Amino acid sequence: IPAGTSVLMELGPELDLLFHNPAGSATYTVSARQLPGTELPTPGYYPVLPLYKITAKADGNDVDQLPAQVKIQLKAKGISDLNSAGVMLWDEKKSAWLSVPSLADSANGAVTAATYRTGIFGLMEDVRPVPRLTDIETSWARDLITAMAARRIVNGYPDGRFLPGKGVTRAEFVTLLANTLGWDPETTAIQFKDNIPDWAAGAIAAAVNRGVVKGYDDGTFQPKKMITRAEMAVIIDKALNLADSDQPSNYQDWKQIPAWAVQSIRDTKVSGIMRGSDNRFRPRDTANRAEATAVMAKVLEYFINWEQR
C-alpha cells in the first residue's frame, strides 16, 4: 500500500479492513488470516469465531503499529445485543485481551472498530452482568449512557447510581477519554507538583506522553478541579489531531472564549463533536457526567469512522 493511498480488504464475508496509508509514510503491506479456534483464555467474554491475525510490514520490515488507524468490521453472528459485543486485541506481553474502540453497526449486523495496532483480533460478546444504573431513566442522555456503560467506557458508583448531573474533574475526564480511545495505562512518572490519584495516574501519563494534556503554569495538574468546556475542547482537539478550521465559531458568547481555546472550539464545532446550545458555547461552564458521556460517544464515532471526515 503506497503512501497516500487507501485499500479495502475483505477476508470472506465476516471481515472487512480499511486502511489509508498517510502521505509521506513508508510503503506498507497489511495481511490478515483466519484463526479457526483459540486456546487463549477469554474470561467474561464469549469469542465469536473465527479470530483473525493481522500483520503489517513497513518497507519489508515487520511492525506492530500502523501510521494511521485500520478500520475493522466484523460480522456479529448470533449476537442479539450488539452493544454487548466489541472487538478485542490479544496483548502477548500482558497475556490479556484489550478492548479496541468499537461501535455497533446495526444496519450491517456488525461491530466496527479502529486501531493502530496489529496482532490477534476477535469479536467478543461480553457475558458479564450488564451494568444497571438506577438514576438515568429521566436523563436526556439515558440511551447514550446505557450504551457506553455496556462497553465499560463509563461506570456507575457502587450504590448503582450514575449521577448524570454531577460535575466531571480533570482526572475523570482524561480517564474517560483514555477509556474511549483504548489507550493503555502508562507507568511513566509524571512530574506534577500535586498528587495524582492512583486510579487516574495511568491515563494521565498516557495523555501527557501523547502531548494531549499538560499541567498549569505553576506545575500542578489539579486533578480534582472541575473541567471546563473550553478545556474539554482543547484536550479533544489534541487527542484526535483535528484539522485546523478557518471557520469562525460564531457563537454569541465568543468574547468569553479564552485565546488558547479559540482554535480548538472551532475544530470541535466543525467536526460535530462539541457544539453549543442556543448558539452559545459556554466555555467557562463545567461539564456534568451526562454531557461528558455524550461528547465521548461522538469522539468514539469520529475516531472509528475516520474515512467519513
Tell me what pLDDT residue 296 has: 98
* Closest listed residue to residue 136, CA positions, set 152, 116, 160, 120: 160
Tell me what pLDDT residue 130 has: 83
Tell me what pLDDT residue 151 has: 92
Tell me what pLDDT residue 225 has: 97
- With cell 449512557, the residue in question is 145
- Residues recorded for the chain: 309
Tell me what pLDDT residue 69 has: 95
Buried b (16+ CB within 10 A) or exposed e, 185-211: ebeeebebeeebeeebbbbbbbbbeee
The model's pTM: 0.94
What's the burial of 7, exposed, middle or buried (CB within 10 Å: 0-12/13-18/19+)? middle
Tell me what pLDDT residue 308 has: 81
Query: Is-contact 273 265, C-beta < 8 A?
Result: no
Longest dimension (CA), the chain: 60
For residues 104 and 247, what is the distance between their CA atoms, to the nearest angstrom? 32
Q: Give the torsion through C-alpha atoms of 163, 165, 171, 172, to 10 deg.
A: 50
For residues 127 and 71, what is the distance between their CA atoms, to the nearest angstrom? 25
Tell me what pLDDT residue 204 has: 98
Query: Is-contact 228 202, C-beta < 8 A?
Result: no
Tell me what pLDDT residue 188 has: 87
Tell me what pLDDT residue 183 has: 95
* Closest listed residue to residue 236, CA positions, set 156, 162, 297: 297
DSSP lists the bridge partners of residue 140 as none
Going residue by residue through the chain, which has 309 residues, state the pLDDT in tens, using 9 for 90 and above.
999 999 999 998 999 999 999 999 999 999 999 999 889 999 999 999 999 999 999 999 999 999 999 999 999 988 888 989 999 999 998 999 999 999 999 999 999 999 999 999 999 999 998 889 999 999 999 999 999 999 999 999 999 999 999 999 999 999 999 999 999 999 988 889 999 999 999 999 999 999 999 999 999 999 999 999 999 999 999 999 999 999 999 999 999 999 999 999 999 999 999 999 999 999 999 999 999 999 999 999 999 999 887
